[in-house]
Every structure is written in C-alpha cells, then in structure tokens.
Copies of this chain bind each other. A is one copy, B any other.
Amino acid sequence: MLLRMIIDCHGHYTTAPSPLGAYRDMQVAALVGDPAHVGERGSITISDAELIDSLEANQLRLQRERNIDLTLFSPRASWMGHHIGNEHTSRFWTEHCNDLIRRVCDLFPDNFAPVCQLPQSPDVGVESSVRELRRCVDEMDFVGCNLNPDPSGGMWNGPPLFDPAWRPLYETMCELDVPAMIHVSAACNPHFHSTGSHYLGADTTAFMQALTSGLFRDFPEMRWVIPHGGGAVPYHWGRFKGMAEENVGAGWPLLDELMANIWFDTCVYHQPGIDLLVEVVPTSNILFASEMVGAVKGTNPDTGEHYDDTKLYVDRAPLTDDQRLDIFERNVQRVYPRLKVPA
C-alpha cells in the first residue's frame, strides 16, 4: 500500500498580511459607541506578492520541511470573532476572509484547498451563514466550512447544536455535500483561555451535544470534524462509551453509531496523546492535521522537535500501513468529497 500524499485537514491563515488586521481594527473602532453600526463592505488591498511572502516563510516552508503535500486552509479561527459587532460586521469580515483564502488557493492550488468561515453572529439566525456557504461552495469551490458552536465567544448563551435553529445550515451542508469542522473562535469570557481551555472544552461540548441529542439521526449524511484530537473525548473514551450505553433507553446512540458522522483530527502535540487517539478511536475516524501555524509554535526542549509536527507522532504510532494511509490521505477525501487532490 503506497502512501501517495499527506493531507492536513486543519490549517489556518494565521499569518495574513497586516491590511487584514487593519481592516478588522477599523471595524471594531466603528462599533465603539454604535454596536449596531452597519458600514460598508469596503476593500482590503493586499498584493499577490504579499500573500506569497506571508505563506512562503510560514506554511509553505513547514509543508516542505514536514513533507505535507496539501492543507485544507481556512481563515484564522481565533479571528473569526463572531461575538464582535453585529450580523453586518460578521458578514463583511467573513466575505473578505474567505475571498483571501480563495486567492491563496489560486496562487498555490497544489498546496491549499479552501475551507470557509461562516458569518455567524449572536442572536442572528443561520440564514446569512447558509448564503455565505453557498457562495463559497457554489461560486468558489470551497470544500468545507468551520462552524462555531458558540458564536458568543465563551458566553455559551445561544442555541446548542441540537437546537432547530441550526437545521437550515445542516440541510445546506448535506445538500452541498460539505462537512463542518466544529471550531470556536477566541473567548471574550475571562474564564476561558482561547486556545487552551475554550477550544478543548468546546470540542468536548460539541461531541456531547451530538451524543445526547441523537442529532445525526435527522441528518444521517452530515459530517462533523471535531478538531484538537476531539478535545477530552478520546482520553475519556470509557466515560463516554459507558454513558452512551447507560442512556440507550433515553435515545442516545452508542458510540459506534455516533462515529458514523464524526471524525477527530490529530492536533494533539505529544506522542502519548496520538498513541491513545489511534488506540481507542477507529482509524477510519481520524484525519491527519497539525493546525500549523497554530496554537503552539515552539520546540519541545525534551525532544528538539516542534510540538505541532504531528506527522512525526503519527509516523511513530503503532499503525499498519493501511491505517496510516487512511489517516494521512483517504479518510479526508471521504469526509471532504469536493476536495480535488492534485495529480
């Protein structure tokens, strides 16, 4: 079984040129004193050369160093900031971010495939997210989206994922045959550290919302990727398995049933974590990912290796060649069928 290519399902454009951040600062400034400010979409001027520079020095360099062929690339997750401003703020910001991802993928079609953020906003329905998802998939060949289960930014006061409010978005995902990575953005609640406790807590929360609600019975074709190795779920696999078995009478699916619709990525930054992940979760449910350039950029002084060089851990994990092929290359194409793998 020959490994043809390594596909990373979870990369963010965390290194975008400064005009993107300047645009966001302008948006935020305009909201001071007028939270309902509408404004205009406006424009952001970034040259191709600037885009290329921002990628060559970072994601492209790391892809080459680590032998990663292709990255599913989406806007910076911590900057989605769905809690900032109103639906107009979120719409203009999201359109710019997604357009930039499209440009990146046009510049480097062999290295990146586009995944969009959605213009979610607290207290606003999903209609605008449905529209943007259609625009990205139908008009710009995006292959998936990132869905924020808590657009409040850590206040957790909107509808849970099993609430009917989400259904139009789920229906559109199924119709377009694109999955969602369930990924929160930065927390504005002082209890939570964004990439520490908020990301991992949200991953576990999303899994549990699916488990307790049996949501996927209504959307048997819907696919979710839960990032960061599934939050706390694999480490507590016995807890979730036991809870599911105890609650079959209450309508919960068993984990075997639930995992027909859920995948975990490999953004777990040490060998024992990856070893546990591949031991307890079926390898057909694991997608290779590194989140680079992401939450942890440093080198582990104990090993001299980058924490987020997750390929090393997967290479060393006790897997058959066939399982490794699933994790690096095949599963992601099943989950993201619109992904066109370069020849």
Contacts and interface: CB of A to CB of B under 8 A. Distances in A.
Contact of A273 (B191, B192, B276): B276
B301 A243 contact: no
A128 interface: no
A242 B269 contact: yes
Contacts of A209: 191, 193, 197
Nearest to A200: B232
B200 A204 contact: yes
Interface string A244-280: 0110000000000000000000001110110110011
Nearest to A204: B197
A190 B308 CA distance: 34
B204 A235 contact: no
Contacts of A237: 270, 272-273
A278 to B, nearest CB: 10
A53 to B, nearest CB: 24
Interface stretch (A8-16, A31-39, A70-78, A290-298): A290-298
Contacts of A275: 276
A7 interface: no
Contacts of A272: 237, 276, 279-280
Interface size class of A (residues with CB under 8 A): 35 or more
Interface centre among A191, A229, A279 (most CB of B within 10 A): A191
A260 to B, nearest CB: 19
Contacts of A103: none
Contact of A238 (B211, B231, B268): B268
A329 interface: no
Nearest to A228: B236
A242 B193 contact: no
Given A232-B235, A239-B269, A296-B246, A201 B197 contact: yes
A238 B269 contact: yes
A205 interface: yes
Interface string A210-252: 0110000000000000001101101111111111011000000
A67 interface: no
A132 interface: no
A87 interface: no
5 contacts: A157-B189, A196-B240, A200-B236, A239-B296, A242-B308
Given A160-B190, A195-B243, A238-B307, 16 more contacts: A150-B191, A193-B211, A196-B239, A200-B201, A200-B204, A201-B201, A201-B204, A235-B276, A237-B273, A238-B268, A238-B300, A239-B268, A241-B307, A246-B296, A246-B298, A272-B279
